[in-house]
């Protein structure tokens, strides 16, 4: 299994982070099998494109919510890493658990 789980949509509240805000978070190494995707589909042409990160962040974005890591942006980059036999990638992680510690856990 490449990812921990595959979801359709984001279970966490809108964080309002801009591209500039994300750039302030240093990337860290994350195992692919600890990530839960927030998209069920991908576009093959984007996966195979050489310049797929030309206009965006080099690092995928993940949100930690209720002790789970949700891959918000970068599904194609993460899958490309898996196809290259890599099980760890560098990801910018926004820790909503730390920013919203009183948020109730959903069941």
- Report the distance separating Cα 13 and Cα 18, nearest Å: 15
Q: Tokens representing 71?
A: 């891959």
In a domain, 33, yes or no: yes
CATH of the domain at 31: 3.90.1530.10
Structural domain total, the chain: 1
Residue 31 is part of which domain span? 21-44+55-99
- Report the distance separating Cα 11 and Cα 66, nearest Å: 10
Q: Tokens representing 96?
A: 């909503």
- Report the distance separating Cα 75 and Cα 18, nearest Å: 18
Full pLDDT tens readout for the chain, 107 residues: 899 999 999 999 999 999 999 999 999 999 999 999 998 887 777 666 665 555 578 899 999 999 999 999 999 889 989 999 999 999 999 999 998 876 555 54
In a domain, 107, yes or no: no
Determine which helix (DSSP H) or strand (DSSP E) holds 65, and give its type and residue range: strand 61-65
DSSP letter at 31 equals E
23's CB contacts (< 8 A; 6+ apart) are 57
In a domain, 3, yes or no: no
């Amino acid at each position: 299994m490449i990812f921990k789980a595959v979801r359709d949509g984001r279970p966490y509240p809108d964080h309002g982070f801009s591209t500039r805000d994300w750039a302030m978070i240093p990337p860290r190494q994350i195992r692919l099998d600890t990530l839960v995707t927030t998209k069920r589909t991908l576009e093959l042409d984007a996966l195979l494109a050489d310049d797929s990160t030309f206009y965006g962040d080099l690092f995928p974005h993940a949100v930690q919510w209720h002790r789970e890591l949700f891959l918000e942006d970068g599904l194609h980059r993460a899958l490309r890493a898996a196809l290259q036999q890599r099980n760890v990638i560098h990801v910018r992680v926004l820790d909503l658990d730390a920013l919203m510690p009183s948020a109730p856990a959903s069941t």
